[in-house]
A = this chain, B = another copy of it.
Amino acid sequence: MSASSRILSLAVIPGDGIGPEVVAQGLKVLNAVLPQDVKLETKEFDFGAKRYHATGETLTDADVEALKQHDAILLGAIGDPSVPSGVLERGFLLKLRFLFDHHVNLRPSKLLPGVSTPLKGQPEIDFIVVREGTEGPYTGNGGSIRTGTPHEVATEVSVNTAFGVERVVRDAFARAQARPRKKLTLVHKNNVLAYAGHLWTNVFNKVAKEFPDVTTDYIHVDAATIYLVTDPGRFDVIVTDNLFGDIITDLAAAVSGGIGVAASGNINPGREFPSMFEPVHGSAPDIAGQGKADPSATVLSVALLLRHLGHEDEAARIEAAVSADLAERGDTVRTTEQIGDALAVRVAG
């Protein structure tokens, strides 16, 4: 959004399953929090399983052009058991991350008061994962020969570039520097994945020199999963590869209150293309349409969206509202809409 025009032009992708329900509440809260002089313009897109079944399309060139016209994208969830595994993931979600160069995949984990964790003793958890979003084993490089025969060989190539690693590492250092603890942990598997591991480690150590006030350390991805359940408080900011980031952020979400409250941003920091914000949870078809889904993760994704566009105050107000709502929630069972209403009241108040 350009500050002068004061128009926030948002592409909205409700998607599949519980996507439409949670996105409706995200928009409600967004409307409630925005200052009077900012005009919200939304355009809805019908990506997902229904469109795929009707047309065979996941994301056309025209779609991409249309999405580019917006300041940001809010996504509910994409995916349905009726669509073969991978079709929508690669044909839509990953395609957009690559086309719009969403190289910073931002996933905060904070265990809020009142939220239950599977871990004993309610540990303090407050860290963010900066996951690389456009490289690693996610590039789709690879192939198979003698496919379907007893002599099949299938490969997947993890592609890592100094350019790609350095920009995300630098972004993570800047985020670490802006936090009180100023600590950044590199997570990789450099004792086994030597080529990629050396690149990541060397770039990390090089960029570290530009941020002398940031404390750094390194841990292997396998050990990181141990720390995430035995000592999650040790983490402040984590930077990691695309696949490791995928794995540890699901675990991080689980220990910090579950994917019901886990938000994420697929960010193009230079704003050359719109960034996309989405809850970490999927489409959860088993509870779709029943008003049971918790919209908090989507609402928190809206906060990340606002922060990305420079609306820090509004982002903080949303986060405070969700935090207060969770703290007072207790055992009350509320519908998706009731939670959205409560949050809208809080951010407006």
Chain A residues proximal to chain B, CB less than 8 Å:
85-86, 89-90, 94, 117-120, 137-138, 140, 142-144, 146-163, 166, 189-199, 202, 221-223, 225-226, 228-230, 243, 246-251, 253-255, 258-259
Q: Is the CB of A119 within 8 A of B259?
A: no
Q: How far is the CA of A141 from the CA of B117 in the complex (A)?
A: 40
Partner among B156, B197, B251 whose Cβ is within 8 Å of the Cβ of A193: B156
Selected A-B contacts with CB under 8 Å, 8 pairs: A118-B229, A118-B230, A119-B229, A137-B158, A142-B158, A155-B157, A189-B243, A222-B250
CB distance from A275 to the nearest CB of B (A): 21
Collect the chain B residues with CB atoms within 8 Å of residue A144's CB: 195, 198-199
Q: Is the CB of B162 within 8 A of A152?
A: yes
The 5 A-B residue pairs with the shortest CB-CB distance in the complex, in nearest-first order: A222-B250, A225-B251, A152-B162, A154-B195, A154-B199
Collect the chain B residues with CB atoms within 8 Å of residue A163's CB: 150-151
Closest B residue to A225 using CB positions:
B251
Q: Is the CB of A229 within 8 A of B247?
A: no
Closest B residue to A86 using CB positions:
B191
Q: Is the CB of B195 within 8 A of A143?
A: yes
Q: How far is the CA of A189 from the CA of B223 in the complex (A)?
A: 20
CB distance from A75 to the nearest CB of B (A): 16
Closest B residue to A136 using CB positions:
B156
Q: How far is the CA of A155 from the CA of B117 in the complex (A)?
A: 37
Q: How far is the CA of A89 from the CA of B197 in the complex (A)?
A: 14
Q: How far is the CA of A198 from the CA of B166 in the complex (A)?
A: 32
Collect the chain B residues with CB atoms within 8 Å of residue A198's CB: 144, 147, 154
Q: How far is the CA of A151 from the CA of B164 in the complex (A)?
A: 10
Closest B residue to A148 using CB positions:
B202
Q: Is the CB of B90 within 8 A of A142?
A: no
